[in-house]
Amino acid sequence: MNASPTYLTAAEYRLILLSALESNDIDRSTAVKLVDSRWPVDVSGALSEAAGRGIQLDLSDVRAWLASGGAETLEPADVLFLESGVDSLLEWAIACHRGEPTIAAEIRSRAPGLLEALEAREAAPWN
């Protein structure tokens, strides 16, 4: 990996997902249910989540992460990830200089005002 990229936190990514759903006329309650129901995910979902949050990883990265935690005998295909597991994977990837930044990392670093606007919108009362 080049310089340590900035990736979207789980909360930031959640805001973006909710905003995208709501901009397509999906009501708030349904949007929250859809976003929250995506956990747990398999290894493909974990890699997709990582890419969406700013770091492109592959199966070799997941295998190395599992081995770093003493679970080298597990196959990535046999693992289900919760949000905290993906967070741990991303933190490990940054610390070990694994993966490559995606467009999400670039957007986050170039347009921090976008996240601030979404956070302000989230804090506003819903009518």
Closest Cα to residue 20, out of 57, 55, 52, 51? Answer: 52
Average pLDDT, the chain: 87
Please determine, for residue 36, whether its predicted confidence score (pLDDT) is greater than 90.
Answer: yes
Domain residue ranges of the chain, discontinuous segments joined by +: 10-121
Please determine, for residue 83, whether its predicted confidence score (pLDDT) is greater than 50.
Answer: yes
- pLDDT by residue (tens digit) across 11-29? 889 988 998 999 999 999 9
pTM here is 0.82
Closest Cα to residue 88, out of 54, 115, 107, 62? Answer: 62
